[in-house]
Each structure stands twice: as C-alpha cells, then as structure tokens.
Amino acid sequence: MDGIRVGKRIIGAQSPVTIGWENIPKVQGGPVKQFVFTYFQPVVLFALIAFWFYAPNSIAKASTAIGIHIGFTVLLLGLEWVNPRYESWRLTWKELVTDLFYVGLGYTLLRIVDSFIGSDVMVEAIQHSIHWDKFAWFMGLPLLLQAFLISFLFDFGQYWMHRGMHNWYPLWLPHSVHHYITQLNVNKGAVGNPVELFLIGLGIGGFFDFLPRAALLAGAFGMAIGTYQHINVRFNSPRWWRFLFNTTEHHSLHHSQDYEASRSNFSGSYIFIDRMFGTCVDGEAELLGMEGGRRMSIREQMTYPFTEGWKTIKERFGSRPVAVPAE
Amino acid sequence: MTSHYIDWIWKIRGNLALAPGQTGDDAFDRLDPLFRQSGTAHKRTGKTLTFQKKDQDAQDKMSVFDDGILRIEQRGAEAVLRYQLTSRALLFCFLAPLLFLAIGQLTLVVGKYQKSSHEASDTKKPAIKKPDVPMNPIDKALGAPAPDKPKKDGSKPEGRNKKPSATTAYVFAGIFAALYLVGRILEDRLIKGLFKKRLFGL
C-alpha cells in the first residue's frame, strides 16, 4: 500500500483508508431514504435545541435529558439495523452485551468514583471559594452562547487530553484499550479501560453550569453531535455539518488500523478544533482496531494497561541478561 | 465434573440428523470453513471435531463460543451430529446482573457515607450564593422561560451533581437478565441454523 499524502503525512500505508469527501460512498436507496439520512442529523440537533430552549422549568431537568438520551440511543440502534454503513460492523448479541456492560459501568461504578475524585468535586470545591459576582457577565450571556461555550470548553479540554493520550505512553496505555474495538456501534464510545473512561470525562465545562438550562443545552449539543462518532449508520451529512462537527467518517479514520490515520481527529464534537490545530483528516476507514484487528476480551480490557505497563517497566528497569561471551 | 443441571447456563447442546447417505467426513468438510477463522484452532480425529477460540473476530459467526466438541454418532440407520459448545459470553451475561446488584448495594453504602460526611462538612462551608442576573434580552425576546428563583430552603435543584442512585444499577441488572434470556435462546437457534445451512445448504 502506498498511502495518500495529507499535508506532511502519508495516511493509509498500513491499512486501507478513504481520503476526501468526494470519495466517500453516499446513502443508497429511494428518495425518502436519501432525504431521511441527509437531514436526520441537523433536524435532531435543531429540534433538541428548540426543546431545551422552550421547555418549561418543570420539564427542563436532568431526568428528562436521561430519558431523551435512552430514547435516542434506541432510535439509533434501529437506524443501524436499517441503514448500516458497513455490513462488517453489524451489531451482534455479544457486541451488544459487551458495549452495554461498559455503559452500565459508566452509569454506576464510574459515577461513584466521580463523586469522590471527578470533575464535579473539583468544580464544587472551586465554586465555594470564588467571587460569584465576577462571573455575572457569563450568566448574562444568551443561553445558546453559554451552552456552546460550556460544550466547547469541555471539548477543547477533551481534545488535548485525547491528543495527550496518543502522545504520552502512560496515558496511551489506558486509552489503547478503546482502540482495540473493531467496529463502530452506538454504545462503542463507552468501551474502554475504566481508568481512561475516568480521565476522558475530566473537564472544566461543568464549572460554567451556572444555569441548568444552559447545561442541558450543552448536553444536547454533545448528544446530537458527539454520538455520531461511534455509530454504524451511513449518513449524507451536509457539507457545513462535516466541516464543523466530528462525524463517523472522521472517527472511523481515527480508529483505523493505520497508525498515521489514528493520529488524527481527536476532538469529541467539534472537528473544527482539529482543523485549528492541523490534526483533521477528512475521510473514513472500515478496517479498525490494533494488532491487525484483534478483538480484545473484557478481561484483557480490564488488565491490559497494567500488564503492559508492568512489562514496559520490567524491560526498562529490570535485570538485564548476563552477556555470554561468544565461543 | 460440571453438573448438567447448571452448565446449560454457558453450554449449548444440540443435535442434527445428517442427510441420508451423508458421511461424517462429508459433514465435517462442510462445516470446516466455520473453523478456519481468525483466532480459531481445531482438530479432527475420526468422528470427533474439537475447537478452541481466542480473541475471535466480532463478526465470526461463532464468536459467542470459546470451545466445543462436535461428534458424529450413529442412531440406528441414521447419522447424527451432536454438539456441545461453551460460551464465556453467556456465563458473563448470566453473572452480570449479580455484579450490578452488588454495585447497587455499594452505591447505597457510599451514599450513606457521603451523606454523613457532607452533613459534617456543610456546617463549615458557606452556602453558594449566585448573583441574581437578569435574563439576556435576546432570550427574553425569543420567549425562553425565566429560570426558577433559588429555593429558600437552600436545597439544590436536580442537576449533574445529583448523588449516585442504586436504581440505575438495578435497571442494568434487569437489562442483563433480559439480555441473557434473549442470548441463550437466540444463540442456540442461530448456531443450529448455521450448522443446518452449512450441512444442507439451506
């Protein structure tokens, strides 16, 4: 494989990738199907914005957001069934069980850990020691701008944390487990070593959650944009959407078996952050994972960062073999 | 030795009558491609085929199984394929509800501990008093509802700082119990269908 030159890098020399929007396949089928899978993403985004903007205070609550999130996930699982991007990413019973196990851990065990050492604890500690009047200007901004800033700040932090994970070995170890997934499905974003899932959730976005409605709108941005990172659905995303937002195409490239391709598209929602820092590559990949697409068991996913870390430490600092003189 | 009374949890057994005149060798030849997948090792000795899988592909049609034995047995005039397949995924899914029930209990214990420690520390911490900022004129013009006034009793509104709830863990326990039932029935049928398709080309 020759690969394709993108800037100074050669992408796709180790594993096939598709580079450039003009080369990416379109949704196949009749006009109704084409219409639905072209406008689904923006319609959902604007509908959610309108809902959270106008919902009465009695409805605009976190529990409503959780309900919407569950409903949206089920809907997307249905879309995966109807219009898969790749047959080779079909959801099986075993994949669903594995993915939901991590979703379950995220909603339960990780929440317990977060309640002791997560972002919210840090935010609450800071909130007790600041002069709130200094932030009145933020609370006076239009709701949508507040919401965008909250989600942008979180994504900006996540971009650098994620980029750090790909560039610093101690952070790469826990993150590498997530890169062993070999297909993208709705709940695959939750799959990874719990240490990484904790780290990637850290952010200061929560610090600016002054108004509950702004926080809920920020959450809606994340849900209606970031969810498409991991999904097996073919969309004809509008040009403006794929310029601004992270898409399945971008993220599949990030999960490619090709090393150079995997070092691109680090943001969670806003791909323009990658464009700002020169790490965005527009394209997609079907063959995903590490070590030629080896699927990792849950047991190994739990232990891998520690066993690999231990191996590396032993190699670097362990006793060196005694040199045997040549005969 | 594992009792048959409980190993149905993670083992799937079944049998299929071969077509009249079909030999054991022919049957195993037809099934052979199923065992030539990544991460799969298999061995044929006479009328027995054994296999083991490790890190099997997600799209491997037998990915849910980790090892198994297939035998050709003679029942009177007809030959029968008998199989016994082991699935760690089924066992894991069967045990997952217990794990989530335990997490639910842990959540309650942690909640109790946090409540007592918060009560102790809240006396020292001053309450957060956010300034009363008027709504932005743009939001007002667009008709967004005005935010609620802070409650007088000082209770926090429902938000992201909500304490962990055991209900979530119990819901996941229920989801995995349902998933187990679905998987135990579905995978049994799927493997039977797969063997039939390979053996008889149906």
SS3 category, A19: strand
Task: Calculate ∠ Cα A52-A54-A59, nearest 5°.
Answer: 65
Q: 10 Å Cβ neighbour count for B55?
A: 16
Q: What Å distances lie between residue A78 and A73, A156, A204, A300, B161, CA to CA?
A: 9, 31, 34, 30, 32
CA distance B81 to B26: 12
Using a CB-CB cut-off of 8 Å, the residues of chain A touching B169 are 104, 108
Task: Calculate ∠ Cα A257-B58-B18, nearest 5°.
Answer: 140
Report whether pLDDT(B162) > 60. no
Is B64 in Cβ contact with A94 (below 8 Å)?
Answer: yes
Q: Does A3 fall in a domain?
A: no
Using a CB-CB cut-off of 8 Å, the residues of chain B touching A139 are 130-131, 133
Test mutation, B52, B138, B139, B156, chain A, max A CBs within 10 A: B139
* pTM for the model: 0.89
pLDDT recorded at residue A203: 64
Q: Does A7 fall in a domain?
A: no
Is A104 in Cβ contact with B160 (below 8 Å)?
Answer: no
Q: Does A270 fall in a domain?
A: yes
A326 band by pLDDT with thresholds 50, 70 and 90: low
Test mutation, B40, B65, B114, B136, chain A, max A CBs within 10 A: B136
Using a CB-CB cut-off of 8 Å, the residues of chain B touching A61 are 158
Report whether pLDDT(A82) > 60. yes
Report whether pLDDT(A124) > 60. yes
Averaged pLDDT for residues B137-157: 77
Q: Of all residues in chain A, what percent carry a pLDDT higher than 70? A: 91
CA distance B68 to B198: 17
Among the partner-chain residues B107, B139, B145, the one whose CB lies closest to the CB of A142 is B139
Q: Does A291 fall in a domain?
A: yes
pLDDT recorded at residue B163: 63
Using a CB-CB cut-off of 8 Å, the residues of chain B touching A151 are none
Buried b (16+ CB within 10 A) or exposed e, A305-326: beebeeeeeeeeeeeeeeeeee
pLDDT recorded at residue A305: 95
pLDDT recorded at residue A113: 85
Is B179 in Cβ contact with A100 (below 8 Å)?
Answer: yes
Q: Does A319 fall in a domain?
A: no
Two structure tokens written together for B161: 């700082």
Q: Does A91 fall in a domain?
A: yes
Instruction: Give the chain B residue nearest A296 (alpha carbons).
Output: B55
pLDDT recorded at residue B134: 84
pLDDT recorded at residue A134: 75
Give the list of residues 6+ apart from residue A144 with CB closer than 8 angstroms, or none. A49, A53, A217
CA distance B131 to A132: 7
Question: Which residues pair with residue B45 across a beta bridge?
Answer: B48
Of B130 and A73, the structure prediction assigns the larger pLDDT to A73
Q: Does A162 fall in a domain?
A: yes
A320 band by pLDDT with thresholds 50, 70 and 90: low
pLDDT recorded at residue A78: 97
Q: What Å distances lie between residue A65 and A57, A221, A290, CA to CA?
A: 13, 12, 35
Is A55 in Cβ contact with B183 (below 8 Å)?
Answer: no
pLDDT recorded at residue B157: 52
pLDDT recorded at residue A130: 66
Among the partner-chain residues B59, B130, B138, the one whose CB lies closest to the CB of A132 is B130
Ranges assigned E (strand) in chain B: 11-17, 40-45, 48-53, 67-75, 78-86
Question: Domains in chain B, start-ordered, CATH in brackets?
Answer: 7-88 (3.30.310)
Q: Annotate A49-70 with three-state secondary structure.
A: HHHHHHCCCCCCCHHHHHHHHH
Of A246 and B123, the structure prediction assigns the larger pLDDT to A246
pLDDT recorded at residue B77: 84
Averaged pLDDT for residues B161-185: 90
How many domains does chain A divide into? 1
Averaged pLDDT for residues A280-298: 95
Averaged pLDDT for residues A207-226: 87
Averaged pLDDT for residues B157-168: 66
Is A108 in Cβ contact with B169 (below 8 Å)?
Answer: yes
pLDDT recorded at residue A272: 98
Report whether pLDDT(A31) > 90. yes
B117 band by pLDDT with thresholds 50, 70 and 90: confident
Is B161 in Cβ contact with A120 (below 8 Å)?
Answer: yes
Element spanning A157, H or E: helix A143-165
Two structure tokens written together for A64: 């409503």
Quote the ipTM score.
0.89
Of B152 and A279, the structure prediction assigns the larger pLDDT to A279
pLDDT recorded at residue B96: 98
Report whether pLDDT(B155) > 60. no
Averaged pLDDT for residues A182-188: 96
Of A7 and A121, the structure prediction assigns the larger pLDDT to A7
Print the domain residue range for A149. 30-313
pLDDT recorded at residue B21: 87
Is A57 in Cβ contact with B186 (below 8 Å)?
Answer: no
A120 band by pLDDT with thresholds 50, 70 and 90: low
Is A90 in Cβ contact with B164 (below 8 Å)?
Answer: no
Using a CB-CB cut-off of 8 Å, the residues of chain A touching B57 are 182, 293, 295
Give the list of residues 6+ apart from residue B162 with CB closer than 8 angstroms, or none. A62
Q: How close, in Å, is residue B118 to chain A by CA atoms?
A: 12
Query: Widest CA span of chain A, in angstroms?
Result: 86
Among the partner-chain residues A112, A124, A295, the one whose CB lies closest to the CB of B106 is A112
Q: Does A5 fall in a domain?
A: no
